[in-house]
Amino acid sequence: MSGLAQTDPELDAALFEHYAVPRRERAAEVIRCAQERGQMRIDAHPQLVVDQLWGACHHRPLILTTVSRSSSHPHSWTTSCEL
């Protein structure tokens, strides 16, 4: 759906409003709670931490899965520990 939203302004706006914003707000709230409990550095900016985690979570299924499926790709790899 993210791919379709890149060319569909209405879908993009709906995903942003109903998916991205609420998830980011909730995740930032969890980070702030962890900071209050002393489980996370107080000087970490919650939204930046959320963006870093969000980026990593979305990168793997969108990019790495495609590359790892293509064994003929010159930079392909697997997630196994075989050397």
Lowest mean pLDDT among 2-11, 27-36, 68-77: 68-77
Q: What residue segments make up the domains of the chain, in order of their start?
A: 2-61
Rounded to whole angstroms, what are the CA distances from 47 to 16, 26, 53, 54? 15, 10, 10, 10
Whole-angstrom Cα distance, residue 8 to residue 25?
A: 24
Query: Is the pTM higher than 0.75?
Result: no
What is the structure's pLDDT at 64? 62
Residue reference for tokens 């979305």: 58
